[in-house]
Chains A and B, each alone.
Chain A
Amino acid sequence: MPMTAATPEITRFGGLHRAPGRRRRNLASLAFLAPAAIWLLVVVVYPCFATIRYSFYDESASRFVGLANYKAVFSTDAILVAFRNNIIWVLVFPFLVTVIGLMLAVLSERIRWGTAFKTIIVMPVVFSATASALVWRTIFDLNPHVGVVNALEQTASDFVRPPGPYPVDANLGQSLAGLASTGVRPDGHGSLVSISTVNAGHTVELGLIGVSPQTLALLGARTARAPTAAPGVIDGLVWRDFSPSHPGARGRVYPDEDGLADLQVSLLRTGGSAVATTTTRPDGQFKFANIGPGSFRVQIDAQNFTSSFGGTFWLGSSSVTPTSGLSQTAQALLSVPLIDIAMIVAYLWMWAGFAMVIIAAGLSSLNREVLEAARIDGASEWQVLKRVTTPMLAPVLAVVFVTMVINVLKVFDIILNMAPGSSQAAASTLAFSMYTHGFEGGIHSGLASAIAVILFASVVPAMAWNLKRIRGQM
């Protein structure tokens, strides 16, 4: 602190000369402080004490209730969920954002366009949490025409397991057994197989129901025609066994019934092995020629019914940890809802730039010679990062970490705007439940104040750490 070394002569002189105006100067100096001090006392300091007082009063702040509000906080499942989420945020987020910030800071130093890169990463820091949350809400949307994440998941899933022309979606209450109407039954492995056997020179008719007219129109299906027998050939038909003019009748091919187009059917030996495979025509007919003697069954292959990828409800409250069979309170304490993961990802996008800027500033003030010496001694880049850079940056990393702990304890806006109404309860944090109890619906100022006091108490360690650090710098 070079400026405090003001030469003693001047101070002594100053003291002599200043004597008459000293009081006035001190008054002026205090007058400079007064507006800020009064403002802080009224808006920040007094309310801290008032909130503590309110936390011992009932919902309308009129009757003293002792510790009842605090007891309520720790016995209300909805608030325990908030505690759990705060703990998840504090355990996961500050660590991840510090690591990502460190990586980005170290790597961006080694490219020519490092400044442009840093600008891109920092940009979200100046966006409101509200706007960011609303963007990320679409990114994680269930609808693959809205959400990029589900669109990518669907593309990958369809590539690995292409959906069939007649998807059976268990989530919609559909089943193979419900599809089988005439001459077929499920084989237990996802296919439908003909009940009776068939020989060359005969025909087979397989009826399915529960197929929507839209699906048929999309596949270009035409009116079903009963197959005619021919020597040496098995002729068959798969049709929609539902006639609008005879809604109750099954098993007969009516003129207003359509064939099922584009189905893959296989011919099975009675032992079960497939000998031939073909696809039905628009009128639902198929034909197996050049087959030898013996009895066969016709199978409608499983892949016709593969359902399309249903999507991941990232914004929902379903838990990634198993919670079935647990009591409600245990569930509140132990489940990790998907929405938490989605929000933490969004928050990383919002704050990684902040961590990166702080760490990059610390990095640029490091002694380069130490890093170079380590490299010359043959240390790999990873070793340099782990053994030299990170320990030297420890004070800066700690500042980022603690700042992010404080930040995350107060998480609020992102929940209100990113979690749909149905999962807000599962995504709640202390700050959020303070808001819902204090300002929404059945207002309870005592309970809300108790939550605020607990929130305050939870930042006290960070506050103490800050004070210690800043006192050390004074």
Chain B
Amino acid sequence: MTGFSLDPELSRARRIRSRMHLSRSALNLGLGAVGVLWLVPTISLAVFSLRPEGLFDVSGWWHVLTAPTQLTLHNYSALFSQGFAAGGLLDSTLTSLVITLPATLLVTALASLAAYSLVFGNWRGRDVAFLVTVGLIVVPLQVALIPVLELYRSFGSLTGYNPFGTFAGVIIFHVGFGLPFGIFLMRNFYTGIPRDLVEAARIEGAREWTLFRRVVVPLGLPAAAALAVFQFIWVWNDLLVALIFLGGNPHQTLTLFLFDQTRSLAADYWIISTGAMVSIVVPLGVFFAFQRHFVRGLLAGAVK
């Protein structure tokens, strides 16, 4: 008679504990199901990229569960074997990098400089300037597309160099729209650096540039890393800016490469899925390598 207890309090506690135990396993099971469900789209994309193209619309991708021998790297080797031909997968990957890296570095550098000025400078109106920057964070970039195109055209007729259709044209635009958030993030971090530290160095006669390089930048590295990760993913994933400012360029970003294939979805899904896998592997790698920085960027920037 182990289930019988003379002490009603004791048996009640046991009942509650067993109920909690039950709800705990239900919770594990439920969240396990949610986790699996959440992985399905990513897994399906991977499977599409690893199955022969002929199977796309004749048998569901989930059949690999029972026929894993269908999996092949053929799609990847087919696309990689094109090498760096303009408009191909490898060329597009390179183009994405060539656009994303400078845009990321420029935003991080310029935002750090501006934030230094906003926090440690002594000019009036710093707070107003900061608030204007905060306001700019949410400006939809659609607002600037047509005027910036016009600016590029005017610049082209003045100097003979029209940034439209060039990597520079895309980068310039990305930097402009990355700066408000970048300045916001860096400024918020720099206000946490003890002002005494900077003032003391000033009294010692340190120049502003030295102060910035030797004191503020090293202390602000965590924020700069967060911003760089955030900006990298932002620019890497952009479609609209590249779609408009890279017009006519034989080299295209990965998102443009994917978008180009969508016109014949069924025929080319092996290209789309393989390209999409390549396009998500890079930010995924950045995410796993700098997970903490990325999350800090998200937390700081829940406004963009």
Binding site for B on A (CB under 8 A): 1-4, 6-7, 10-11, 13-14, 17-18, 22, 25-26, 28-30, 32-33, 35-37, 39-40, 42-48, 50-51, 54, 61, 104, 107-108, 110-111, 116-117, 119-132, 134-139, 143-146, 148, 151, 349, 354, 357-358, 361, 399-400, 402-403, 406-407, 409-410, 412-413, 416-417, 420, 431, 434-435, 438-439, 445, 448-449, 451-453, 455-456, 459, 462-463, 466-467, 470-471, 474
Contact = CB atoms under 8 A, between A and B. Distances in A.
A127 B283 contact: yes
| Closest 6 pairs (CB-CB, A-B) | A43-B176, A29-B121, A128-B237, A47-B147, A47-B144, A50-B147
Interface string B109-136: 0110110111011110001011101111
B20 to A, nearest CB: 10
B147 A26 contact: no
Interface in B190-228: 191-196, 199-200, 202-203, 207-209, 212
Given A10-B200, A29-B120, A32-B113, A438 B60 contact: no
Given A48-B144, A459-B140, A467 B134 contact: yes
B137 to A, nearest CB: 7
B131 A134 contact: no
A29 B44 contact: no
Given A3-B193, A46-B147, A463-B135, A139 B114 contact: no
Nearest to B209: A28
Given A40-B133, A126-B283, A361 B147 contact: no
A399 to B, nearest CB: 5
B189 to A, nearest CB: 12
Contacts of A358: 298-299, 302
Contacts of A1: 191
B99 to A, nearest CB: 13
17 contacts: A6-B195, A13-B203, A25-B202, A33-B118, A36-B113, A37-B114, A51-B143, A123-B38, A130-B259, A134-B258, A136-B41, A399-B302, A402-B303, A406-B304, A413-B239, A459-B140, A463-B138
A111 B143 contact: no
Contacts of A28: 207-209
A148 B239 contact: no
B288 to A, nearest CB: 8
B199 A39 contact: no
Contacts of B240: 412-413, 435
Which of A42, A126, A452, A463 has the largest count of B CB atoms less than 10 A from its CB?
Answer: A126
Contacts of A30: 117, 121, 123
A126 B135 contact: no
Contact of B299 (A32, A45, A117, A357): A357
Contacts of A117: 31, 34-35
A111 B29 CA distance: 10
Contacts of A445: 146
Interface of B: 24, 27-28, 30-31, 34-35, 38-42, 44-45, 48, 56-62, 110-111, 113-114, 116-118, 120-123, 127, 129-131, 133-148, 150-151, 172-173, 175-177, 179-180, 183, 191-196, 199-200, 202-203, 207-209, 212, 233, 236-240, 243-244, 254-255, 258-259, 262, 265, 269, 272-273, 276, 279-280, 283-284, 286-287, 291, 294-295, 298-299, 302-304
A349 B243 CA distance: 25
B239 A416 contact: yes
Contacts of A357: 295, 298-299
Given A148-B60, A399-B302, A431 B140 contact: yes
Contacts of B134: 466-467, 470
A6 B199 contact: yes
Contacts of A453: 143
Query: Among the interface residues A28, A119, A438, A455, which one has the most CB atoms of the partner chain B within 10 A?
Result: A28
Contacts of A466: 134-135, 137-138, 303
Contacts of A402: 303
Nearest to A430: B142
B131 A470 contact: yes
Nearest to A413: B239
Given A54-B146, A139-B44, A456-B140, 12 more contacts: A10-B199, A10-B203, A47-B144, A47-B148, A48-B143, A127-B283, A135-B44, A135-B45, A138-B48, A148-B40, A403-B304, A452-B146
A137 B41 CA distance: 10
Contacts of B39: 120
Contact of A3 (B142, B145, B177, B195): B195
A312 to B, nearest CB: 16
Contacts of A54: 146-147
Nearest to B41: A135
Nearest to A2: B194
Contacts of A407: 304
Nearest to A4: B195
Most chain B CB within 10 A, of A7, A358, A452, A456, is at A452
Contacts of B114: 32-33, 35-37
Nearest to A446: B146
A168 to B, nearest CB: 25
A434 B142 contact: yes
A129 B139 contact: no
A151 B141 CA distance: 39
The residue in A116, A121, A400 that gathers the most chain B C-beta atoms within 10 A of its C-beta is A121
Contacts of A361: 295, 299
Nearest to B282: A126
A130 B217 CA distance: 35
A47 B110 CA distance: 20
Given A32-B116, A471-B131, A43 B144 contact: yes
A160 to B, nearest CB: 20
Contacts of A46: 147, 151
